[in-house]
């Protein structure tokens, strides 16, 4: 099935902030495509903007990638774009030498005036090429200059994109972009092209916001006579306002999702389905994702992020998790929230409780909150629902129940239920009449897993103790 040999993809975030959800999806698609073809997935940090790039951001991105388990190749090594700036500059100079680039001595003010004029007159906003054919000798001595691409004036540039199809733009629409800044550093447009080429990247999967840039990049590629990679521009993820999700537009860092209690496998599955499909399949475990992923079924329109759906996917994976492992996670979260870590015995109780708890929760956060009562030290605080249940009548019934339970030898859930059911019948009551007060006493709430199961897991001494607390 894998046709293209040696597929090389890459994820190139710029370290100006955390790894956000849109970037995570781009990374996922690149990762899956490489894995599907048995190819290589690389991580490149685009830190050429020295002003805005930060080390903490680099670390946050790496942490995010690791949390999502999107492991990159090349022995875990990261390609730092800034380390290759001399190479980028060398390429620009090569283009200068072979006539594919030229020096432009315009000042920033001059360019801004030009743009203002164009905007005011409803003209297309592009560099007008005023230094394209001028002799550099005409420039004032020692004046700073940038290096611009000498882009073709006529003809057209065509991109074959796996999502967009074949798209053509007239070269007259594209201006002579800057390759090298006046301080000699390369621009993004140059750096990506050079790095992709040097890294052997042959498949570029990235956000659709890069689509129009692609035409310019292809022009550089052609000027250098380099191979043009396969392209797949994936539609953006929109916020609820229908606009591109960005760091200031509702996109959260992946770490926030971890805190909210989402599982990495759930995030992966949800993100995969957001913009890609495999028939009616919704739950797509990693192995299937790698097996099935392709570029053909990437959706062509933008998607909105939906927490409800994420919740349901997360709930699915959470229920599949091993109870012991889940209990450890919950214990860790509990200790983070309360400051005291559950001990081994308590963690064991949590593990027993997981089966009943996890089908009532969507996230690890929910799960942790609903599990807390198992290990909360006595006397348990009662929530409003519990207080309401514990009327004088209810307490009287609870007192009777206490005697019943203390005499019960077999403290299994079925045994407790059978005995209470029998007891209720004898007193002309329903099971629920006793179950609710018991629930309040044992869980401190009006909502809990099956209460006889809870009692059994808590054990007889703790159960009776909690009942005594309420009866005091």
| Residues in 435-454 at the binding interface with RNA, rule: CB under 7 A | 435-436, 439, 446-453
Residues 173-232 contacting RNA, CB under 7 A:
173, 175, 177-178, 181-183, 185, 187-189, 191, 208-213
Q: How near is the Cβ of 156 to RNA at its closest, in Å?
A: 9
Residues 311-340 contacting RNA, CB under 7 A:
311-312
Stretch that binds RNA, among 72-80, 241-249, 284-292, 321-329 (CB under 7 A): 241-249
The token duo for 44 is 């490149």
Residues 41-80 contacting RNA, CB under 7 A:
46, 48-49, 52
Task: Considering the complex, state which of residue 302 and residue 336 has its C-beta at the smaller distance from RNA.
Answer: 302
Q: Can residue 128 be called a binding residue for RNA (CB under 7 A)? A: no
- Single out the catalytic residue among 247, 288, 421, 460: 247
Q: Can residue 366 be called a binding residue for RNA (CB under 7 A)? A: no
Q: How near is the Cβ of 3 to RNA at its closest, in Å?
A: 15
Candidates 248, 231, 245; CA nearest to 33 is: 231
Q: How near is the Cβ of 438 to RNA at its closest, in Å?
A: 7
Stretch that binds RNA, among 234-242, 322-330, 335-343, 345-353 (CB under 7 A): 234-242
- Peptide bond preceding 379 in cis form (omega within 30 of 0): yes
Candidates 307, 305, 318; CA nearest to 263 is: 318
State the first-to-last Cα distance of the chain, in angstroms, to the nearest integer. Answer: 71
Q: How near is the Cβ of 138 to RNA at its closest, in Å?
A: 16
Candidates 74, 75, 59, 69; CA nearest to 13 is: 59
Question: Among residues 277, 324, 376, 415, which is the contact residue for RNA, using CB under 7 A?
Answer: 277
Stretch that binds RNA, among 60-68, 167-175, 332-340, 399-407 (CB under 7 A): 167-175
CA 428 to chain centre: 56
Task: Considering the complex, state which of residue 9 and residue 14 has its C-beta at the smaller distance from RNA.
Answer: 14
Question: Among residues 92, 101, 106, 289, which is the contact residue for RNA, using CB under 7 A?
Answer: 106
Tell me which residues are annotated as active site: 247
């Amino acid at each position: 099935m894998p046709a293209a040999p040696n597929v090389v993809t890459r994820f190139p975030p710029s370290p100006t902030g955390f790894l956000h959800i849109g970037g995570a999806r781009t990374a996922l698609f690149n990762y899956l495509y490489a894995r599907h073809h048995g190819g290589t997935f690389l991580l490149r940090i685009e830190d050429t903007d020295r002003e805005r790039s930060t080390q903490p951001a680099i670390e946050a991105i790496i942490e995010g990638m690791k949390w999502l388990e999107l492991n990159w190749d090349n022995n875990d090594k990261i390609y730092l774009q800034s380390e290759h700036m001399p190479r980028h500059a060398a390429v620009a100079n090569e283009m200068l030498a072979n006539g594919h680039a030229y020096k432009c001595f315009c000042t920033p003010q001059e360019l801004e005036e030009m743009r203002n004029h164009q905007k005011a007159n409803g003209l297309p906003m592009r560099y007008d090429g005023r230094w394209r054919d001028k002799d550099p000798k005409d420039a004032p001595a020692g004046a700073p200059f940038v290096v611009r691409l000498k882009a073709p004036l006529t003809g057209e540039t065509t991109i074959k994109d796996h999502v967009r199809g074949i798209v053509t733009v007239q070269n007259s629409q594209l201006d002579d972009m800057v390759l090298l800044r006046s301080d000699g550093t390369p621009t993004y447009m140059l750096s990506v092209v050079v790095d992709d080429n040097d890294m052997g990247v042959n498949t570029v999967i990235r956000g659709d916001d890069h689509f129009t840039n692609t035409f310019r990049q292809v022009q550089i590629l052609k000027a250098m006579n380099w191979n043009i990679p396969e392209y797949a521009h994936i539609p953006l993820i929109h916020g609820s306002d229908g606009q591109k999700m960005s760091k200031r537009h509702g996109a959260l860092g992946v770490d926030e999702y971890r805190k909210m209690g989402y599982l990495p496998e759930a995030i992966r599955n949800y993100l995969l389905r957001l913009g890609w499909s495999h028939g009616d399949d919704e739950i797509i475990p990693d192995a299937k994702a790698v097996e099935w992923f392709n570029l053909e079924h990437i959706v062509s329109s933008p998607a909105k992020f939906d927490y409800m759906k994420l919740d349901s996917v997360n709930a699915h994976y959470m229920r599949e998790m091993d109870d012991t492992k889940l209990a450890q996670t919950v214990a860790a979260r509990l200790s983070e929230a309360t400051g005291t870590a559950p001990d081994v015995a308590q963690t064991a109780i949590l593990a027993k409780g997981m089966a009943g708890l996890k089908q009532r929760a969507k996230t690890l956060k929910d799960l942790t909150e609903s599990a807390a009562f198992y290990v909360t030290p006595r006397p348990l605080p009662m929530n409003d629902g519990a207080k309401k249940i514990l009327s004088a009548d209810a307490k009287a019934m609870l007192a009777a129940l206490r005697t019943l339970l203390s005499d019960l030898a077999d403290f299994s859930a079925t045994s407790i239920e059978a005995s209470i059911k029998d007891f209720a019948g004898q007193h002309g009551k329903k099971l629920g009449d006793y179950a609710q007060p018991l629930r309040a006493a044992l869980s401190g709430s009006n909502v809990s897993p099956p209460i006889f199961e809870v009692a059994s897991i808590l054990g007889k001494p703790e159960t009776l103790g909690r009942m005594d607390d309420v009866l005091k």
